[in-house]
Amino acid sequence: MEANLSFPQSAFNFPVSLSEKYRPHRIVEFVGLEKPKKILERFAASPYPSAWIFYGNSGVGKTSMALAEEIGAEPHHIPSQKCNAANIEEVIRMCHYLPMAPGRLLLVLVDEADAMTPAAQLALLSKLDSTAFPPSTVFIFTANSLDGLECRFLSRTRQVEFSSYGMASAIAGLLRQIWQSEGGKAEETPDMERISKNSRNNVGDALMTLETELRAA
């Protein structure tokens, strides 16, 4: 299955890396990930204050999908190494008092939540409880694995698995589209299936390899 993307024409012009240039911004633009896309499309159609964990291998699009434009939330990013009790209190205070346009949500995005300390998880327990949940706020935690996350923390979130299984052909199709869009010659097209396999279905890694191939062509 090929991605439904509209690519700009550039002929080997790289003002930014390919992974940044072709980063998906809308849910439909992601390759594979049919179940997460279906869940997020329905959520985006009628978003509400809630907490989610997107988990799966690196490079499959967890963070990018959390920031998909359809959700329409104002993002606030907390790197995992800064997700401590003090910063949690600060972001919760902001969620309570930051003026927001009617119908607009805040998005608190915590990357690599599986690296959070037990203290940080403990600090989040009461904040994610329905009785103390901040208004107009969506929490999205990304993680490579749910291992190490406390059951009490997990029980307060909705878990969405981002499985890379079966993505190889979709990634190869995406790489072919980009090769053509970037002016790559048909007779010099590299083995996209091999690139996808070697990247272990990590889209970012595959795009870096493709960028190297384009420069060598």
Mean pLDDT in the chain?
A: 86
| Average pLDDT of the segment spanning 12-35 | 84
| Average pLDDT of the segment spanning 99-103 | 63
- Dump pLDDT digits (tens) for 128-185: 887 788 888 999 999 999 998 989 999 999 999 998 888 889 999 999 999 999 999 9
| 6, 176 contact by CB (below 8 A) | no
Answer with the residue of higher pLDDT: 198 or 97.
198
Q: Which of 197, 185, 201 is nearest to 12 (CA)?
A: 185
- Residue 3 is predicted with a pLDDT of 55
| 12, 181 contact by CB (below 8 A) | no
CA separation, residue 154 to residues 17, 131, 158, 159 (Å): 35, 17, 8, 8
Q: Which of 9, 21, 5, 2 is nearest to 207 (CA)?
A: 21
Q: Place 1 in a pLDDT band, splitting at 50, 70 and 90.
A: very low
**Identity at 9, one-letter amino acid code:** Q
| Average pLDDT of the segment spanning 46-61 | 91
Question: Taking the model in full, what pTM does it have?
Answer: 0.83
- Residue 4 is predicted with a pLDDT of 58
CA distance linking residue 188 with residue 185, whole number of Å = 5
| Average pLDDT of the segment spanning 107-133 | 86
DSSP helix/strand/coil, 140:
strand
CA distance linking residue 32 with residue 1, whole number of Å = 7
- Report which DSSP code applies to 82: G
pLDDT at 9 over 60: no
- Residue 153 is predicted with a pLDDT of 92
CA distance linking residue 161 with residue 163, whole number of Å = 6
| Average pLDDT of the segment spanning 58-63 | 88
Q: Place 97 in a pLDDT band, splitting at 50, 70 and 90.
A: confident
Answer with the residue of higher pLDDT: 119 or 205.
205
